Structure 1
Amino acid sequence: MERTERATDSLPARLFLLACDVEAERVKWGDELGYAVRAGVLAELTARGCLREEGRKARPVGDRRTGDPVLDGVLREIAGLPRPKSWSALVRRERRRTCLALEGQLAKSGAISVESRTLRRKRVTVHERDLPARLRAEAAATLTGSEPAGRIEPLRAALASMAALSRLCPELNWRVRYANRRRLKELTERAGPAGRGLKKALDTRRAAHNGGGGG
Protein backbone atom coordinates (compact mmCIF):
# COMPACT_ATOMS: atom_id res chain seq x y z
CA MET A 1 0.00 0.00 0.00
CA GLU A 2 1.42 3.40 -0.98
CA ARG A 3 2.35 5.64 1.93
CA THR A 4 0.48 8.95 2.15
CA GLU A 5 2.84 11.85 2.61
CA ARG A 6 2.04 14.32 5.38
CA ALA A 7 2.80 18.03 5.38
CA THR A 8 5.18 17.42 8.29
CA ASP A 9 7.27 14.85 6.39
CA SER A 10 9.40 17.16 4.25
CA LEU A 11 12.82 18.29 5.48
CA PRO A 12 11.94 22.01 5.61
CA ALA A 13 8.80 21.20 7.63
CA ARG A 14 10.84 19.07 10.03
CA LEU A 15 13.36 21.87 10.50
CA PHE A 16 10.56 24.38 11.14
CA LEU A 17 8.88 22.10 13.69
CA LEU A 18 12.19 21.27 15.35
CA ALA A 19 12.58 25.00 16.06
CA CYS A 20 9.16 25.24 17.74
CA ASP A 21 8.97 25.78 21.50
CA VAL A 22 5.85 23.85 22.45
CA GLU A 23 5.53 25.26 25.98
CA ALA A 24 6.06 28.91 24.97
CA GLU A 25 3.95 28.41 21.82
CA ARG A 26 6.42 30.13 19.56
CA VAL A 27 8.98 29.30 16.93
CA LYS A 28 12.57 30.47 16.77
CA TRP A 29 11.52 32.92 14.09
CA GLY A 30 14.63 34.61 12.82
CA ASP A 31 17.02 34.84 9.97
CA GLU A 32 18.79 31.60 10.83
CA LEU A 33 15.54 29.65 10.61
CA GLY A 34 15.01 31.18 7.19
CA TYR A 35 18.44 29.97 6.06
CA ALA A 36 17.73 26.49 7.41
CA VAL A 37 14.31 26.24 5.75
CA ARG A 38 15.66 27.39 2.39
CA ALA A 39 18.51 24.89 2.59
CA GLY A 40 16.04 22.20 3.61
CA VAL A 41 13.91 22.93 0.55
CA LEU A 42 16.96 22.67 -1.72
CA ALA A 43 18.06 19.39 -0.11
CA GLU A 44 14.55 17.95 -0.44
CA LEU A 45 14.33 18.97 -4.09
CA THR A 46 17.71 17.36 -4.73
CA ALA A 47 16.66 14.14 -2.99
CA ARG A 48 13.50 14.02 -5.12
CA GLY A 49 15.49 14.39 -8.33
CA CYS A 50 14.19 17.89 -9.13
CA LEU A 51 17.52 19.70 -8.70
CA ARG A 52 21.04 18.70 -9.61
CA GLU A 53 24.47 20.23 -9.23
CA GLU A 54 26.25 21.27 -12.40
CA GLY A 55 29.37 23.42 -12.32
CA ARG A 56 28.74 24.16 -8.62
CA LYS A 57 25.36 25.64 -9.54
CA ALA A 58 21.86 24.34 -8.86
CA ARG A 59 19.89 23.46 -11.96
CA PRO A 60 16.32 22.16 -12.28
CA VAL A 61 15.92 18.72 -13.83
CA GLY A 62 13.50 19.07 -16.71
CA ASP A 63 10.01 20.12 -15.67
CA ARG A 64 9.69 17.78 -12.69
CA ARG A 65 7.38 18.77 -9.85
CA THR A 66 6.75 17.29 -6.39
CA GLY A 67 3.12 18.18 -5.70
CA ASP A 68 4.21 20.05 -2.56
CA PRO A 69 3.28 23.76 -2.93
CA VAL A 70 6.29 25.09 -1.00
CA LEU A 71 8.81 22.89 -2.77
CA ASP A 72 7.30 23.54 -6.18
CA GLY A 73 7.15 27.28 -5.51
CA VAL A 74 10.89 27.40 -4.89
CA LEU A 75 11.49 25.16 -7.89
CA ARG A 76 9.56 27.56 -10.14
CA GLU A 77 11.51 30.46 -8.67
CA ILE A 78 14.82 28.77 -9.50
CA ALA A 79 13.66 27.80 -13.00
CA GLY A 80 12.66 31.42 -13.65
CA LEU A 81 16.05 32.92 -12.81
CA PRO A 82 17.95 34.36 -15.79
CA ARG A 83 21.02 32.26 -14.98
CA PRO A 84 21.89 29.42 -12.57
CA LYS A 85 22.83 30.44 -9.05
CA SER A 86 25.17 28.92 -6.49
CA TRP A 87 23.63 26.89 -3.69
CA SER A 88 24.60 29.51 -1.10
CA ALA A 89 22.95 32.26 -3.16
CA LEU A 90 19.74 30.21 -3.34
CA VAL A 91 19.87 29.63 0.43
CA ARG A 92 19.96 33.40 0.93
CA ARG A 93 17.09 34.19 -1.47
CA GLU A 94 13.47 34.74 -0.42
CA ARG A 95 14.03 33.34 3.06
CA ARG A 96 11.14 35.09 4.77
CA ARG A 97 8.68 34.39 1.97
CA THR A 98 9.59 30.70 1.96
CA CYS A 99 9.22 30.48 5.76
CA LEU A 100 5.82 32.17 5.64
CA ALA A 101 4.67 29.84 2.85
CA LEU A 102 5.77 26.83 4.89
CA GLU A 103 4.09 28.17 8.02
CA GLY A 104 0.88 28.63 6.05
CA GLN A 105 1.08 25.14 4.59
CA LEU A 106 1.58 23.59 8.05
CA ALA A 107 -1.33 25.61 9.42
CA LYS A 108 -3.60 24.60 6.52
CA SER A 109 -2.75 20.94 7.09
CA GLY A 110 -3.68 21.20 10.76
CA ALA A 111 -0.16 20.48 12.02
CA ILE A 112 0.02 23.90 13.70
CA SER A 113 -2.19 26.84 14.57
CA VAL A 114 -0.89 30.39 14.15
CA GLU A 115 -2.26 33.43 15.96
CA SER A 116 -0.96 36.92 15.21
CA ARG A 117 -0.65 39.20 18.24
CA THR A 118 -0.15 42.97 18.33
CA LEU A 119 3.40 43.95 19.32
CA ARG A 120 4.17 40.34 20.26
CA ARG A 121 5.47 37.27 18.50
CA LYS A 122 2.94 35.06 16.80
CA ARG A 123 1.54 32.25 18.90
CA VAL A 124 2.42 28.99 17.15
CA THR A 125 0.75 25.91 18.59
CA VAL A 126 2.01 22.49 17.50
CA HIS A 127 -0.84 19.98 17.73
CA GLU A 128 1.36 16.87 17.81
CA ARG A 129 3.03 18.18 20.95
CA ASP A 130 5.84 15.65 21.21
CA LEU A 131 6.92 16.03 17.59
CA PRO A 132 9.41 18.93 18.02
CA ALA A 133 11.14 17.10 20.90
CA ARG A 134 11.35 13.91 18.83
CA LEU A 135 12.90 15.80 15.93
CA ARG A 136 15.43 17.50 18.22
CA ALA A 137 16.31 14.15 19.78
CA GLU A 138 16.77 12.62 16.33
CA ALA A 139 19.05 15.45 15.23
CA ALA A 140 21.10 15.28 18.43
CA ALA A 141 21.42 11.49 18.22
CA THR A 142 22.62 11.75 14.62
CA LEU A 143 25.18 14.42 15.47
CA THR A 144 26.55 12.65 18.55
CA GLY A 145 26.24 9.08 17.26
CA SER A 146 28.91 6.73 15.97
CA GLU A 147 27.26 5.45 12.78
CA PRO A 148 29.57 6.29 9.87
CA ALA A 149 28.33 9.42 8.12
CA GLY A 150 28.51 7.67 4.76
CA ARG A 151 25.82 5.20 5.88
CA ILE A 152 23.39 7.87 7.06
CA GLU A 153 20.52 8.74 4.74
CA PRO A 154 21.27 12.22 3.29
CA LEU A 155 18.05 13.86 4.52
CA ARG A 156 18.66 12.57 8.05
CA ALA A 157 22.20 13.97 7.88
CA ALA A 158 20.71 17.22 6.59
CA LEU A 159 18.25 17.49 9.51
CA ALA A 160 21.06 17.19 12.05
CA SER A 161 23.66 19.32 10.28
CA MET A 162 21.26 22.09 9.23
CA ALA A 163 19.70 22.32 12.70
CA ALA A 164 23.18 22.50 14.25
CA LEU A 165 24.62 24.99 11.75
CA SER A 166 21.56 27.23 12.14
CA ARG A 167 21.52 26.90 15.96
CA LEU A 168 17.84 26.05 16.07
CA CYS A 169 17.64 24.31 19.45
CA PRO A 170 19.42 24.04 22.81
CA GLU A 171 20.10 20.32 22.31
CA LEU A 172 22.62 21.38 19.65
CA ASN A 173 24.32 24.15 21.64
CA TRP A 174 27.88 25.32 21.09
CA ARG A 175 29.35 22.68 23.43
CA VAL A 176 27.68 19.88 21.49
CA ARG A 177 28.69 21.42 18.18
CA TYR A 178 32.30 21.89 19.29
CA ALA A 179 32.63 18.39 20.75
CA ASN A 180 31.29 16.95 17.47
CA ARG A 181 32.80 19.44 15.02
CA ARG A 182 34.41 16.76 12.83
CA ARG A 183 31.17 14.81 12.78
CA LEU A 184 29.23 17.98 11.90
CA LYS A 185 31.55 18.56 8.95
CA GLU A 186 30.99 14.99 7.75
CA LEU A 187 27.21 15.28 8.07
CA THR A 188 27.22 18.61 6.23
CA GLU A 189 29.05 16.94 3.36
CA ARG A 190 26.64 14.02 3.48
CA ALA A 191 23.74 16.48 3.21
CA GLY A 192 25.05 17.38 -0.25
CA PRO A 193 25.40 20.71 -2.01
CA ALA A 194 22.53 22.29 -0.07
CA GLY A 195 24.33 21.51 3.19
CA ARG A 196 27.54 23.06 1.93
CA GLY A 197 25.56 26.02 0.60
CA LEU A 198 23.96 26.60 4.01
CA LYS A 199 27.32 26.56 5.77
CA LYS A 200 28.81 29.02 3.30
CA ALA A 201 25.80 31.35 3.52
CA LEU A 202 25.84 31.32 7.32
CA ASP A 203 29.63 31.77 7.49
CA THR A 204 29.34 34.79 5.18
CA ARG A 205 26.48 36.24 7.23
CA ARG A 206 28.29 35.85 10.54
CA ALA A 207 31.54 37.24 9.17
CA ALA A 208 29.67 40.32 7.89
CA HIS A 209 28.00 40.83 11.27
CA ASN A 210 31.28 40.42 13.16
CA GLY A 211 33.12 42.69 10.76
CA GLY A 212 30.49 45.40 11.07
CA GLY A 213 30.60 45.55 14.84
CA GLY A 214 33.14 48.30 15.06
CA GLY A 215 31.60 50.68 12.48
Structure 2
Amino acid sequence: METRVEQSESLTRSAFLLAFDLRKEKLTQREGLGYLLRAAALAELLLAGNLADEAGKARALTAPAAEPGTLRAVVWEQISTSPPRSWRRWVQKDNGKAVRLVRDELAAARLIGVERRRILLFPVERITPRRPYLSRRLAERVGRAIRGDRPVGRLDVDVRVLAALATAARLKTVAPTWRETRPLRDRIRQLSAPVEPIATALRKSVEAAAAASEGG
Protein backbone atom coordinates (compact mmCIF):
# COMPACT_ATOMS: atom_id res chain seq x y z
CA MET A 1 0.00 0.00 0.00
CA GLU A 2 1.31 3.49 -0.94
CA THR A 3 2.71 5.36 2.05
CA ARG A 4 1.35 8.85 2.45
CA VAL A 5 3.55 11.91 2.48
CA GLU A 6 3.97 12.73 6.17
CA GLN A 7 0.89 14.53 7.39
CA SER A 8 3.01 17.16 9.14
CA GLU A 9 4.20 18.33 5.73
CA SER A 10 2.13 20.55 3.48
CA LEU A 11 2.29 20.17 -0.28
CA THR A 12 4.41 23.33 -0.42
CA ARG A 13 6.97 22.01 2.04
CA SER A 14 7.01 18.61 0.35
CA ALA A 15 7.54 20.28 -3.05
CA PHE A 16 10.51 22.20 -1.66
CA LEU A 17 12.06 19.04 -0.22
CA LEU A 18 11.44 17.22 -3.50
CA ALA A 19 13.52 19.83 -5.33
CA PHE A 20 16.78 18.80 -3.63
CA ASP A 21 19.38 17.14 -5.84
CA LEU A 22 20.88 14.87 -3.19
CA ARG A 23 23.92 13.99 -5.29
CA LYS A 24 24.93 17.64 -5.40
CA GLU A 25 23.38 18.46 -2.02
CA LYS A 26 21.62 21.53 -3.34
CA LEU A 27 18.32 22.72 -4.76
CA THR A 28 17.77 22.20 -8.45
CA GLN A 29 16.09 24.72 -10.75
CA ARG A 30 16.01 27.57 -8.26
CA GLU A 31 14.64 29.88 -10.96
CA GLY A 32 11.40 27.88 -11.29
CA LEU A 33 10.99 26.73 -7.71
CA GLY A 34 8.73 29.64 -6.80
CA TYR A 35 6.27 28.67 -9.53
CA LEU A 36 6.17 25.11 -8.21
CA LEU A 37 5.61 26.27 -4.63
CA ARG A 38 2.86 28.70 -5.60
CA ALA A 39 1.18 25.94 -7.61
CA ALA A 40 1.40 23.60 -4.62
CA ALA A 41 -0.26 26.20 -2.38
CA LEU A 42 -3.00 26.73 -4.96
CA ALA A 43 -3.50 22.96 -5.18
CA GLU A 44 -3.88 22.70 -1.41
CA LEU A 45 -6.53 25.42 -1.46
CA LEU A 46 -8.39 23.92 -4.42
CA LEU A 47 -8.42 20.40 -2.98
CA ALA A 48 -9.59 21.69 0.41
CA GLY A 49 -12.52 23.51 -1.18
CA ASN A 50 -11.16 26.99 -0.40
CA LEU A 51 -10.91 27.82 -4.10
CA ALA A 52 -12.89 26.91 -7.19
CA ASP A 53 -12.13 27.00 -10.89
CA GLU A 54 -14.45 29.43 -12.63
CA ALA A 55 -13.94 29.54 -16.39
CA GLY A 56 -10.19 29.21 -16.03
CA LYS A 57 -9.94 31.64 -13.13
CA ALA A 58 -9.42 31.09 -9.41
CA ARG A 59 -12.40 32.09 -7.29
CA ALA A 60 -12.20 32.31 -3.49
CA LEU A 61 -14.78 30.35 -1.51
CA THR A 62 -14.16 29.69 2.19
CA ALA A 63 -11.10 30.79 4.16
CA PRO A 64 -8.58 28.04 5.01
CA ALA A 65 -7.42 27.12 8.49
CA ALA A 66 -3.87 28.16 7.69
CA GLU A 67 -1.31 29.71 9.98
CA PRO A 68 -0.77 33.42 9.25
CA GLY A 69 2.40 34.02 7.26
CA THR A 70 2.46 30.62 5.57
CA LEU A 71 2.47 30.52 1.80
CA ARG A 72 -1.01 29.01 1.80
CA ALA A 73 -2.34 31.90 3.90
CA VAL A 74 -0.57 34.49 1.77
CA VAL A 75 -1.92 33.06 -1.49
CA TRP A 76 -5.44 32.88 -0.07
CA GLU A 77 -5.28 36.50 1.07
CA GLN A 78 -4.15 37.63 -2.38
CA ILE A 79 -6.92 35.76 -4.18
CA SER A 80 -9.70 36.59 -1.73
CA THR A 81 -9.01 40.34 -1.97
CA SER A 82 -8.76 40.45 -5.78
CA PRO A 83 -11.18 39.99 -8.66
CA PRO A 84 -11.07 36.50 -10.21
CA ARG A 85 -7.85 36.13 -12.17
CA SER A 86 -6.23 33.33 -14.15
CA TRP A 87 -4.46 30.47 -12.40
CA ARG A 88 -1.35 31.36 -14.36
CA ARG A 89 -1.28 34.81 -12.80
CA TRP A 90 -1.43 33.32 -9.31
CA VAL A 91 1.27 30.75 -10.12
CA GLN A 92 3.62 33.51 -11.25
CA LYS A 93 2.88 36.21 -8.67
CA ASP A 94 5.56 36.89 -6.02
CA ASN A 95 7.31 33.61 -6.81
CA GLY A 96 10.57 34.76 -5.22
CA LYS A 97 8.76 35.51 -1.98
CA ALA A 98 7.21 32.04 -2.11
CA VAL A 99 10.66 30.45 -1.99
CA ARG A 100 11.67 32.58 1.00
CA LEU A 101 8.48 31.82 2.93
CA VAL A 102 8.74 28.05 2.55
CA ARG A 103 12.52 28.16 3.10
CA ASP A 104 11.98 29.92 6.42
CA GLU A 105 9.28 27.42 7.45
CA LEU A 106 11.57 24.49 6.78
CA ALA A 107 14.54 26.16 8.45
CA ALA A 108 12.45 26.86 11.57
CA ALA A 109 11.43 23.19 11.59
CA ARG A 110 15.13 22.27 11.26
CA LEU A 111 14.47 20.31 8.09
CA ILE A 112 16.93 22.38 6.07
CA GLY A 113 20.08 24.33 6.82
CA VAL A 114 20.62 27.82 5.42
CA GLU A 115 24.16 29.19 5.19
CA ARG A 116 24.70 32.79 4.12
CA ARG A 117 28.01 34.36 3.18
CA ARG A 118 29.52 36.84 0.75
CA ILE A 119 31.73 36.16 -2.24
CA LEU A 120 33.34 39.29 -3.70
CA LEU A 121 30.75 41.41 -1.88
CA PHE A 122 27.84 39.44 -3.39
CA PRO A 123 25.54 37.59 -0.95
CA VAL A 124 25.43 33.83 -1.48
CA GLU A 125 22.94 31.46 0.11
CA ARG A 126 23.47 27.72 0.41
CA ILE A 127 20.49 25.56 1.37
CA THR A 128 21.02 21.93 2.33
CA PRO A 129 18.66 19.22 3.61
CA ARG A 130 19.11 18.24 7.27
CA ARG A 131 17.18 15.02 6.72
CA PRO A 132 18.07 13.87 3.21
CA TYR A 133 16.07 10.68 3.65
CA LEU A 134 12.84 12.74 3.53
CA SER A 135 13.72 14.05 0.08
CA ARG A 136 14.82 10.59 -1.02
CA ARG A 137 11.57 8.96 0.11
CA LEU A 138 9.50 11.67 -1.53
CA ALA A 139 11.40 11.24 -4.79
CA GLU A 140 10.87 7.47 -4.67
CA ARG A 141 7.12 7.79 -4.05
CA VAL A 142 6.60 10.49 -6.64
CA GLY A 143 8.75 8.61 -9.16
CA ARG A 144 6.63 5.48 -8.69
CA ALA A 145 3.47 7.54 -9.13
CA ILE A 146 4.75 8.88 -12.46
CA ARG A 147 6.30 5.73 -13.91
CA GLY A 148 4.62 2.90 -12.00
CA ASP A 149 1.73 0.70 -13.08
CA ARG A 150 -0.46 1.16 -10.02
CA PRO A 151 -3.85 2.62 -11.05
CA VAL A 152 -3.80 6.38 -10.56
CA GLY A 153 -7.09 6.26 -8.70
CA ARG A 154 -5.48 4.15 -5.97
CA LEU A 155 -2.64 6.59 -5.29
CA ASP A 156 -2.80 8.93 -2.30
CA VAL A 157 -3.96 12.34 -3.46
CA ASP A 158 -0.95 14.18 -2.04
CA VAL A 159 1.55 11.96 -3.87
CA ARG A 160 -0.55 12.10 -7.03
CA VAL A 161 -0.67 15.90 -6.98
CA LEU A 162 3.04 16.23 -6.23
CA ALA A 163 3.73 13.97 -9.21
CA ALA A 164 1.52 16.08 -11.47
CA LEU A 165 3.07 19.38 -10.37
CA ALA A 166 6.64 18.09 -10.48
CA THR A 167 6.05 16.90 -14.04
CA ALA A 168 4.48 20.21 -15.06
CA ALA A 169 7.45 22.06 -13.56
CA ARG A 170 9.93 19.70 -15.27
CA LEU A 171 11.51 19.10 -11.88
CA LYS A 172 14.75 17.31 -12.71
CA THR A 173 14.79 15.17 -9.57
CA VAL A 174 11.68 13.20 -10.61
CA ALA A 175 10.12 14.46 -13.87
CA PRO A 176 10.27 12.20 -16.94
CA THR A 177 12.72 13.04 -19.70
CA TRP A 178 11.41 14.19 -23.07
CA ARG A 179 11.91 10.65 -24.38
CA GLU A 180 9.88 9.18 -21.50
CA THR A 181 7.07 11.72 -21.73
CA ARG A 182 5.28 10.43 -24.84
CA PRO A 183 4.34 6.96 -23.50
CA LEU A 184 3.44 8.51 -20.15
CA ARG A 185 1.11 11.21 -21.49
CA ASP A 186 -2.12 9.46 -20.55
CA ARG A 187 -0.86 8.69 -17.05
CA ILE A 188 0.36 12.27 -16.54
CA ARG A 189 -3.05 13.51 -17.66
CA GLN A 190 -4.72 11.24 -15.10
CA LEU A 191 -2.34 12.35 -12.35
CA SER A 192 -3.15 15.99 -13.09
CA ALA A 193 -6.93 15.62 -13.16
CA PRO A 194 -7.67 16.84 -9.58
CA VAL A 195 -5.67 20.04 -10.16
CA GLU A 196 -5.74 20.27 -13.95
CA PRO A 197 -6.05 24.08 -14.28
CA ILE A 198 -3.15 24.59 -11.88
CA ALA A 199 -0.91 21.97 -13.52
CA THR A 200 -1.58 23.55 -16.92
CA ALA A 201 -0.84 27.04 -15.59
CA LEU A 202 2.38 25.81 -14.01
CA ARG A 203 3.52 24.06 -17.19
CA LYS A 204 2.85 27.15 -19.31
CA SER A 205 4.60 29.41 -16.80
CA VAL A 206 7.71 27.22 -16.75
CA GLU A 207 7.74 26.93 -20.55
CA ALA A 208 7.41 30.72 -20.95
CA ALA A 209 10.20 31.36 -18.45
CA ALA A 210 12.46 28.87 -20.22
CA ALA A 211 11.73 30.44 -23.61
CA ALA A 212 12.45 33.93 -22.24
CA SER A 213 15.71 32.72 -20.73
CA GLU A 214 16.81 31.12 -23.99
CA GLY A 215 15.76 34.18 -25.98
CA GLY A 216 17.57 36.59 -23.63
Query: C-alpha root-mean-square deviation of aligned residues, in Å?
Result: 2.4
Of 10-19 and 61-70, more deviation after overlay is shown by 61-70
Aligned 1:1-215 pairs, distance under 5 A: 6=8, 9-67=9-67, 69-81=70-82, 83-119=83-119, 121-174=124-177, 175-209=179-213, 212=215
Tell me, which stretches of 5 or more residues in structure 2 are unaligned? 1-5
Shift of 1:29: 4.8
Q: Does the 8 A contact of 1:26 with 1:121 survive in 2?
A: no
> C-alpha displacement at 1:95, in angstroms?
0.6
Question: For 2:198 and 2:57, how far apart are their aligned partners in 1?
Answer: 10
Contact 1:162-1:198 within 8 A present in 2 as well: yes
Return the letter of the residue paired with 2:158: L
Query: Structure 1: where are the runs of 5+ without partners?
Result: none
Q: Distance in 2 between matches of 1:111 and 1:55?
A: 39
The one-letter amino acid of 1:63's match is: A
TM-score w.r.t. structure 2 length?
0.83
Q: What is the CA deviation profile of residues 142-193 of structure 1, one whole-angstrom value per residue up to 9, with x for unaligned ones?
A: 0012233344344322211211222223443414334423322222224333
- Partner residue in 1 for 2:3: none
Once superposed, which parts of structure 1, at least 4 consecutive aligned residues long, lie more than 6 Å away? none
Q: Cα distance, 1:208 vs. partner?
A: 4.6
State the shift of 1:136 in Å.
0.9
Q: Which moved more, 1:43-52 or 1:55-64?
A: 55-64
Tell me the secondary structure at the aligned position of residue 34 of structure 1: helix
Query: TM-score, normalization: structure 1?
Result: 0.83
1:91-124 superposed Cα distances (whole Å, 9 cap, x missing partner):
1111110111100111011111111132475222
Identity value in percent: 29
Alpha-carbon distance between aligned partners in 2 of 1:10 and 1:192, rounded to the nearest angstrom: 19
Change (3 A) 1:171 1:194: closer
Count the aligned residue pairs: 206
Structure 2 distance, partners of 1:84, 1:52, is 10
The DSSP-based 3-state class of the residue aligned with 2:128 is: strand
